[in-house]
Structure 1
Amino acid sequence: MTASRTWTAWSCTVRLTVDDPAVLGAACGELKALMDRVDKAASRFRPDSELSVVNSRADAMVPVSRLLVDLVDVSLVAASMSGGAVDPTVGAAVIAAGYNDDIERVRRRFPQPAEELKPIPGWEQVRLNRKLALLGVPQDSALDLGAIAKAWTADRAALVLSKRYGCAVLVEIGGDLRAAGEPAEPWIITVAERAGDPGVLVTLAHGGLTTSTRTVRRWETPDGSAHHLIDPRTGKPADGPWRTASVWAPTAVRANTFSTALVATGEAAVGRLTLAGHPARLVADDGEVTELAGWPAASRAA
């Protein structure tokens, strides 16, 4: 028997499912506590977060918590793995595009012109001293760890909760899912571009499954609609061949790295995905679907 609880946080849907109903309440409490710690460390919407302090002190090496060290470290690994397609230094570009507040408040604004574009400094200019827990960002830049932080939190929560309570766990934060433990039967997942939309069914026994899309977090500007997925090569919201990418990988962080890269840089990311061998489902602007590397059918576990 499974039990599940759903709530809203980080402007997205959070869902925790376990196959031992007796531990659901305690497990939910732990997931919420972890998300609160990550928010205090890495939210760019909180002026009191560690990340906001670092961003406000560009060119300085700022003492940070081990949690933020881990999150930045993971983001730099993702940047390297994706060939720079997933770049944490796009924060200033995201803000310039208009995404400088909670998405619902951004949408309610009268359309405002985008700020002047600035070059993306590049992830290799981030200075991270892991031993001393010091972090520095280049001048005129800002880190944005949003997508990677969601995936990292899903990974961490699923692994910790599964081990602590001795049960199978499925954590979903927005479009990032992570399964851990040994479920009696694989979880059945609906993969869709937006919550509530029709989707395809896949089975997930372990690992991470993420969906990145430019169809959800959108807002209006005088020049048309904008979204939060930035192409680091241009500093603008991505305008590649695929509006949505879903990827399975051994971890949610790894899956998110590739799903984000595919939407952000399009065909430039396909070669790396092919080498990694991760199943993917791509949706083009016209709705055409492309499935790669053995995207799982409903009868096959990922």
Structure 2
Amino acid sequence: MIKRVEFSCMGSYFHIEAENPSELEQWFAKVEKTYSRFIKESELSRFNQMPISDNWIPVSQEFYFVMAEVTRFYQMTDFLFNPFLGGQLRALGYDRPFSEMQRQVQKTMCPLYQENGILLHKEQPMIKKVKEVEVDLGGYIKSWSVDKAFHMAKGEDVFINGGGDMRFSFIQPQVIGVMNPFDSDTDIAQLNVQKGSIATSNVLHRRWQTKDGEYHHVLNGQTGENPTSNVVQVTVLASTTRQAEVYAKVLCMMDLDQVEIWIAEKQLSIAAIIIMDNKSIWVTGNINEYCEGVTTAWSSQRGNGPEFQA
């Protein structure tokens, strides 16, 4: 029998529908204790506290796997997705869960390294820190844990939503809404889906003040600063939640005219719904390969461009 649980974890609201939701809730709690940079005794925090050294640092097999995968995403996205920005986020005041942040913080930027700050041992779960970097796995580890939980879940109908990072498999197609970035109480689009993953990245939320102005949580991995683009929200549909999460964040860093080019150049197997700062909506032409259909708040027909403006 399908059961439902709702809880807070990793700074997000979780909703699970499966036959074993309590087991999955325990899994997410374990992930937070292991990978949160806000928990001093987490494996991630202990790693971040280690100095630069010629010595290899023994880590758990799971931690090693996670670091290997984020390094691949880091390289594949031309450093736009950057898991080594923990120092930048901390300097910007994001040194605690967002709900506990001060309303205004000082800005003191850290050195930014576009090269990999770590080396992964080729045979054993060990990592060498070669530069003064702090790892922040934030949204990635949440999406990774959703993927893992999906494979642990029991039941024919499974739905896991970790703060907008979703993975699901339904007997019959279901409707999933895409939040309106300009009015979070409404949907800007609705998707008919049966199996897959969805993640959304947004630059209008999770904002705070520094002495140099307002910042948000999406940092361009090449610069360590907030991106400047005409895109305010990206929803990506993909085969895994972590793919959807990484690419949603990266596409938020680009102007719309760059998005389609970048997706084609990287030969990505994803679909996307992109919301512009002028409230127009752009949908990739392959959207129906990832869902049974999509409608938007502005029109009952799918399309691209200013015809979707409010």
Instruction: Map 1:191-270 onto structure 2 (within 5 A).
Output: 191-193=178-180, 196-266=185-255, 270=260
Instruction: State the partner residue of 2:7.
Output: 7
What per-residue deviation string (whole Å, max 9, x for no partner) do you get for residues 77-111 of structure 1?
Answer: 222332221111122112222211110111xx241
Q: Deviations over 1:241-273 (max 9, x none)?
A: 212110001111111121111113446554342
- Distance in 2 (alpha carbons) for counterparts of 1:126 and 1:206: 36
Q: Which residue does the alignment assign to 2:147?
A: 155
**What is aligned with 1:271?**
261
Is the 2:140–2:246 Cα contact (8 Å) retained in structure 1?
A: yes
Q: Which has the higher helix share?
A: 1
CA distance in 1, matches of 2:103, 2:200: 29
Give CA deviations for 1:158-189 in whole Å, capped at 9, x if unaligned.
1221xxx3423111111211114xx2212311
Aligned-pair distance for 1:191? 0.8
CA RMSD of aligned residues (A): 2.3
State the TM-score, normalizing by the size of structure 2: 0.84
Is 1:144 paired with 2:136?
Answer: yes
Name 1:116's counterpart in structure 2: 109
SS at structure 2 position matched to 1:75: helix
Aligned to 2:38: 45
Q: Secondary structure at the match of 2:187?
A: coil
1:57 corresponds in structure 2 to: 50
Give the percent of matched residue pairs that are identical in Structure 1 and Structure 2: 21
CA distance in 2, matches of 1:79, 1:266: 20
Q: Is the 8 A contact 1:210 1:256 kept in 2?
A: yes
The runs of 5 or more residues in structure 2 that have no matched partner are 295-310
Asked whether 1:83 is paired with 2:72, we answer no
SS at match of 2:46: helix
CA gap of 1:136–1:174, structure 2 versus 1, over 3 A, is farther
More displaced stretch, 40-49 vs 214-223 = 214-223
| Greater Cα offset, 263-272 or 143-152 | 263-272
Native 8 Å contact 1:258 1:273 kept in 2 = no
Q: What TM-score, normalized to structure 1?
A: 0.86
| Gap change, CA 1:196 and 1:298, over 3 Å in 2 | farther
Q: Is 1:167 aligned with 2:156? A: yes
2:177 to 190, 193, 196: 190
- 1:193–1:213 CA contact under 8 A, matched in 2: no
1:92: which partner in 2? 87
Counterpart of 2:37, as a letter, is R
1:129 to 1:102, Cα distance in 2 relative to 1, 3 A: same
Q: 1:85 to 1:141 in 2, by over 3 A?
A: same
> Is the contact between residue 4 and residue 15 of structure 1 (CA under 8 Å) also seen in structure 2?
yes
More deviation in 144-153 or 128-137?
128-137
Tell me the amino acid that sits aligned with residue 273 of structure 1. Answer: I
User: What's the CA shift string for 1:197-251, capped at 9, x where partnerless?
Assistant: 3331102212211101112211122222211111022111222221211000111
Residue identity in the other structure for 1:127: L
Q: 3-state SS of the aligned residue for 1:135?
A: strand
What amino acid is the match of 2:13? T
Task: Find the aligned partners of 1:237 and 1:55 in 2 and give their Cα distance.
Answer: 23
Distance in 2 (CA, whole Å) between partners of 1:207 and 1:71 is: 21
Aligned partner of 1:11: which letter? G
1:31–1:157 Cα contact (<8 Å) kept: yes
Q: Which moved more, 1:37-46 or 1:269-278?
A: 269-278
Q: CA deviation at 1:52?
A: 0.8
Aligned pairs, how many? 286
Q: Is the 1:262–1:270 contact (alpha carbons within 8 Å) kept by the matching residues of 2?
A: no
In structure 1, C-alpha distance between the alignment counterparts of 2:221 and 2:81, rounded to whole Å: 8
Letter in 1 for 2:150: A
Structure with the larger strand share: 2
Verify the 8 A CA contact 1:41 1:67 in the aligned structure 2: no
Which residue in the other structure is 1:176 paired with? 165
CA distance in 2, matches of 1:4, 1:11: 20
Gaps of 5+ in 1: none
Query: Following TM superposition, by how much is the alpha carbon of 1:298 offset from its aligned partner in structure 2, in angstroms?
Result: 7.7
